[in-house]
Structures are given as C-alpha cells and as structure tokens.
C-alpha cells in the first residue's frame, strides 16, 4: 500500500473487519485459486463493502478502504446537512419577524379585509 492514503484519517484499523474470499468472473486460474475478493466492514456503522475488481488482494484492499472511507464521509456529510436543516427549520418556526415585515404583512391583511368588506356590503343577499 502507498503511504499517502486519503482515507487514513477517516478509518481506524481497529474498527475494521476484513474478510477475504475467492473472486468470481474473469481472471482464469488465478481468481479460482487465490482469495483476492475483499469484504470490508466498518464495525461502528455496520457499513460493508466488497471489492473483486482486480487480480491482486492488495489492490482490492486499497479500493475497498477508499470506497468505505468515501461512504463514511458521505454519511457524515448527510448527517451534518440534516442537522443544519433541522436547526434552520426550528429557527424559521420561531417566526420572529422584523417590525417592518410585520407592518407590511398587517397592511396587506387590512387591505384584503377592506376589499372583502366592500363585497359584502354591495351584494347582500335578500335585496
């Protein structure tokens, strides 16, 4: 493995479970004899990745780690985004409006009310 791993900060080796098995598909005798397929499981989250693209176990291990790190980062990003969205929703629900906005809303309601009141007086039933 190379020394510059972008997923090193994301993955803790003690939290990973690695399972090796025989690959399927093209590769001939090599994939039939050697356990090149890598299944990597992140124990805290339960996320699991299987990689069998390459003919070498080490290459598949690197790909599996990169893929798992990407999945974990994506999950963290989604969680942060949903928390931010929830905070924003609560902030909007509080409904504290600036005084100028309140005046504008009340003014539009008053105009609408006057319009409807004029309709009632002009066309009263029974006339």
* Residue 30, in any domain of the structure: yes
Domain count across the chain: 1
Contact yes or no for 47/41 (Cβ under 8 A): yes
What is the pLDDT confidence band of residue 1, given thresholds at 50, 70 and 90? Answer: very low
* Residue 25, in any domain of the structure: yes
User: In what side-by-side order are the strands of the sheet with 48-51?
Assistant: 16-21, 37-42, 48-51
pLDDT of residue 108: 98
Give residue 85's domain range. 13-96
* Residue 44, in any domain of the structure: yes
**SS3 of 4, please?**
coil
Alpha-carbon distances of 50 from 58, 64, 74, 124, rounded to whole Å: 13, 7, 18, 76
Q: What pTM was estimated for this model as a whole? A: 0.62
Q: What is the mean pLDDT of residues 49-53?
A: 90
* Residue 122, in any domain of the structure: no
Q: What mean pLDDT, rounded, does the chain reach?
A: 85
User: Domain containing 25 — which CATH number?
Assistant: 3.30.160.20
């Amino acid at each position: 493995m190379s020394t510059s791993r972008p997923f090193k900060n994301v993955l803790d080796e003690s939290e990973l479970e690695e399972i090796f098995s025989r690959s399927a598909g093209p590769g001939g005798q090599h994939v039939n004899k050697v356990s090149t397929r890598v299944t990597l499981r992140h124990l805290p989250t339960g996320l699991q990745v299987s990689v069998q693209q390459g003919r070498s176990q080490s290459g598949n291990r690197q790909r599996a780690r990169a893929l798992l790190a990407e999945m974990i980062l994506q999950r963290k990003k989604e969680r942060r985004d949903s928390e931010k969205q929830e905070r924003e929703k609560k902030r909007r629900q509080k409904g504290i409006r600036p005084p100028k906005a309140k005046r504008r809303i009340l003014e539009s309601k008053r105009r609408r009310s006057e319009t409807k009141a004029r309709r009632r007086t002009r066309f009263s039933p029974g006339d």
